[in-house]
Amino acid sequence: MSAGISEIREKLKWHEARERLLNKIHPELNSVIDIDKFLDATVQELGKMMAVDKCDFIVMHDEEHLRVEYEYIKDPSIPSTLHLTLSMKENGWEMSQLSTLVINDTTRDEFDEKLREVLQRSGTLSVLSIPVMFREELLGILVFHYCSRFHSWSEHEIKFLSSLAQQTSMALQYTRLYSRMEKGAEITQTLLEITNEINSKADFTDVTSFVLKKAVELLGASYGTIGILDADEKTLKTAGAYPEDLLSRRDINTTPSLDKASLKTLLDKKVVCIDSGEQNSTYTAVPSFFSDGKGSAILSPIILDGAAYGTLNLVWEHDRGTFKAHEIELLTGITNQLALVLEKNRLYSELISLKSELNEEGEGEMKMVGISKKFEKCVELAHSVINSNATILLQGETGTGKELIADFLHRNGDRRDKPYIKINCGAIPETLIESDLFGYEKGAFTGAESRNIGKFELASGGTIFLDEIGELSLNAQVKMLRVLQNGELYRIGGSHPVNVDLRVIAATNIDLEESVKNNRFRSDLFYRLNVFPIHIPPLRERAEDIPLLVIHFLDTSKKKLKKLIIGISDEAMGLLKSYTWAGNIRELENVIERAVITCTRRVITVDDLPEQIVGHPSAENNKTVTVEIGSSIDEMEKHLIAETLKYTTGDKKRAAGILGITRKTLYRKLKGYELL
């Protein structure tokens, strides 16, 4: 494997891990909005995914002490440090020293000796410590321990976990915000609704519309917008608005400019508050936001990868006075939830890009998409005969990709610069197939006014691909056998043999051995063709390849159709994975292209899939839940909820609709039955 492929595979591994964690931790726990459950689940999931021996979350117990509040332990034999308190002052540590710490060997690496004592007492051999910061505030420290062996932390691991720490800080800040505002029923209800909306929608546009509406209503603003920050031009380009008809108003500036002070504040990841009635305002950008020069606004930065990407803006078309601290904190929390959605959307796009890059790096121009064992075996066999002159027989159902394998063999072999002739034996009339394949001499039959060179002769020196070889007539099979045996043919009407040097690749979707038994195919020709058979598995036997193929076809279709689509919903992907695909890859490609055409959003959903897939028995129509006699009412309800969520592939909004209850009730029951 080349260094390029290894590098892409490594990146892909960590991108996929990051996506799984974002999907697993944030949706499940933000919907409950419980700090203890959130942090406990975070260390449990991170510990398991990283396969470490121990994972801690350390908090500031007070101004001078650190305390281990949450802990994952792989093996009970590993010493627990839960509730261990460390004195900053006694150990001579300062807050400024709490940066990312990478120690591969606690016995040899150079670092603080007092920390070495603490780690060795807990049996730690290798450790990675990452501070969880929100803006400039330390929320905690994530610590990963190896106790059973030494571990050298890779660049990808450190980058992955640092990114997760950043996402965790934003989710934790939102959870703390909810807890502090528990007494305000309207505020907490809105925060919960925003979280539930984010968890149930994959499309960023849908989420932003909902969030803007809720933020405007909660804080009593005139309108709200999403702005993309252009630091060079010192402007905010409006990318979304509420009310939805706002941008059609002539008095609304869709690209407001920023003065030097407001731009610096946003780049410093701080909120900008503008009030035209304030005489000594730091910011002079008021006329850019308000048509008559009067009004108030809050600009809250959307932070991605530690930098301001854009802003969530609330505008009042009147002077409303000084903004209260809790209002600014509330909008900051909502903005961070938007940043999480944007991060997940961006991550999905990067996954698509990496997987496409992996396919291109691995196979050049050929898109050999698949990771299943059966498909990899097929590709291995193809690689083993790339430069061989042996006759190859490709066997597989219609639409499995036989022609793709044939193309791959020719374009990567020694004959790549020689002729490559493709013949569909089933598409040529029996009366013409002999003249088409072998050619004819002048005067061989009525109308033969000049010599015609056949396809076999044209392909000499290169490769000939005989698709649907099982459709050849018995008469044509005799002449085909002579070419394969002796490397020579006779044109119709010719008396002298013509020597040809060919590599023959044949393909069939029928059982040739059965055809031999039924006397529809010559046994001697079958054995000549069956020198090196390659069986290409049907798509139903390589279900793990479906997500990769979907991403590949989505990428090619959106480019061809010039559509801005970033991905596909989990529910839609679940239906595609459970479908039986009688037409195999060709059918899947057609379904994805159709979905791209009909899709009106940035993410393909179930609504974009054809009825035969949505209504397939193994997916949508499998609505039976079995319970054991003697089960209690609570046991039956718990089982019903769990099976319904499995049926909807985790879509809680849809599950609640099927069960006939509200999402709030569903979340309460999930919490009660410990299904979260």
Same structural domain, 47 and 170: yes
pLDDT (0 to 100) of residue 420: 94
Same structural domain, 162 and 212: no
12 has pLDDT over 60: no
- For range 4-30, the mean pLDDT: 52
275 has pLDDT over 90: no
Tokens of 564: 């801005």
Same structural domain, 584 and 643: no
Tokens of 307: 């930098």
Same structural domain, 430 and 446: yes
Q: Which of 39-43, 170-174, 588-592 has the lowest mean pLDDT?
A: 170-174
- For 466, list phi and psi in degrees, rounded to 5: -105, 95
Contact, 286 vs 276, CB < 8 A?
yes
Same structural domain, 558 and 638: no
pLDDT (0 to 100) of residue 74: 92
H or E element: which one contains 382? helix 373-384
pTM summary value: 0.49
pLDDT band at 574 (very low <50, low <70, confident <90, very high): confident
Total tally of structural domains belonging to the chain? 5
Same structural domain, 196 and 339: yes
Omega before 243 within 30 of 0, i.e. cis:
yes
Contact, 69 vs 88, CB < 8 A?
no
Same structural domain, 225 and 262: yes
Residue 621: inside a domain, yes or no?
Answer: no
User: In Å, what is the CA distance from 208 to each residue of 65, 213, 490, 565?
Assistant: 40, 8, 72, 17
Residue 362: inside a domain, yes or no?
Answer: no
Contact, 402 vs 544, CB < 8 A?
no
Q: Which residues contact 660 (CB under 8 A, 6 or more apart)?
A: none
User: In Å, what is the CA distance from 421 to each residue of 81, 229, 247, 366, 669?
Assistant: 70, 54, 57, 18, 64
Residue 95: inside a domain, yes or no?
Answer: yes
Same structural domain, 29 and 66: yes
- What does DSSP assign to residue 440? B
CA distance 208 to 226: 8
Q: What percent of the chain has pLDDT over 70?
A: 80
186 has pLDDT over 50: yes
We report the CATH number of the domain holding residue 664 as 1.10.10
Residue 361: inside a domain, yes or no?
Answer: no
pLDDT (0 to 100) of residue 1: 42
Q: What is the DSSP string of 465-506?
A: EEETGGG--HHHHHHHHHHHHHSEE--BT--S-EE---EEEE
We report the CATH number of the domain holding residue 42 as 3.30.450.40
- What does DSSP assign to residue 304? E
pLDDT (0 to 100) of residue 276: 65
CA distance 381 to 372: 14
79-118 pLDDT per residue, tens: 898 988 888 877 777 766 678 899 999 999 998 888 888 8
pLDDT (0 to 100) of residue 655: 80
607-634 pLDDT per residue, tens: 899 988 887 655 444 556 666 777 788 8
Strands (E) across 470-605 are located at 488-489, 498-499, 503-508, 532-535, 567-568, 603-604
pLDDT (0 to 100) of residue 32: 45
- CA atoms within a 13 Å half-sphere pointing along the CA-CB vector of 176: 15
Same structural domain, 97 and 174: yes
pLDDT band at 524 (very low <50, low <70, confident <90, very high): very high
- Mean pLDDT value across the chain: 80
We report the CATH number of the domain holding residue 605 as 1.10.8.60
More confident: 394 or 284: 394
Last residue of a domain, one of 510, 536, 562: 536
pLDDT (0 to 100) of residue 284: 46
Place of tokens 């698949």: 370
- Angle at 375 (CA atoms; ends 372, 380), nearest 5 degrees: 120
397-423 pLDDT per residue, tens: 999 999 999 998 998 888 989 999 999
Last residue of a domain, one of 514, 536, 558: 536
Residue 54: inside a domain, yes or no?
Answer: yes
Same structural domain, 381 and 498: yes
Contact, 256 vs 285, CB < 8 A?
yes
Place of tokens 């005989």: 466
217 has pLDDT over 90: no
User: In Å, what is the CA distance from 431 to each residue of 427, 428, 475, 586?
Assistant: 12, 8, 11, 30
pLDDT (0 to 100) of residue 364: 41
166 has pLDDT over 80: no
User: In Å, what is the CA distance from 388 to each residue of 376, 423, 480, 527, 588?
Assistant: 19, 21, 20, 18, 32
pLDDT (0 to 100) of residue 285: 47
Residue 368: inside a domain, yes or no?
Answer: no
Q: Which of 115-129, 241-255, 556-570, 610-624 has the lowest mean pLDDT?
A: 610-624
445-487 pLDDT per residue, tens: 888 888 999 999 999 999 999 999 998 888 888 888 888 888 8
- Angle at 240 (CA atoms; ends 237, 241), nearest 5 degrees: 110
pLDDT band at 280 (very low <50, low <70, confident <90, very high): very low
Same structural domain, 209 and 323: yes
Tokens of 671: 């919490």
pLDDT (0 to 100) of residue 467: 93
pLDDT (0 to 100) of residue 476: 83
Last residue of a domain, one of 479, 510, 536: 536
SS3 (DSSP) at 526: helix
pLDDT (0 to 100) of residue 584: 92
Residue 518: inside a domain, yes or no?
Answer: yes
pLDDT band at 191 (very low <50, low <70, confident <90, very high): low
- For range 333-344, the mean pLDDT: 75
- For range 195-207, the mean pLDDT: 60
Place of tokens 């979350």: 57
pLDDT (0 to 100) of residue 170: 67
Same structural domain, 558 and 423: no
User: In Å, what is the CA distance from 618 to each residue of 112, 482, 536, 609?
Assistant: 59, 49, 24, 15
Tokens of 670: 């999930």
557: containing domain: 540-614
Edge-first strand order for the sheet with 235-242 is 235-242, 223-230, 307-316, 296-304, 272-275
Residue 359: inside a domain, yes or no?
Answer: no
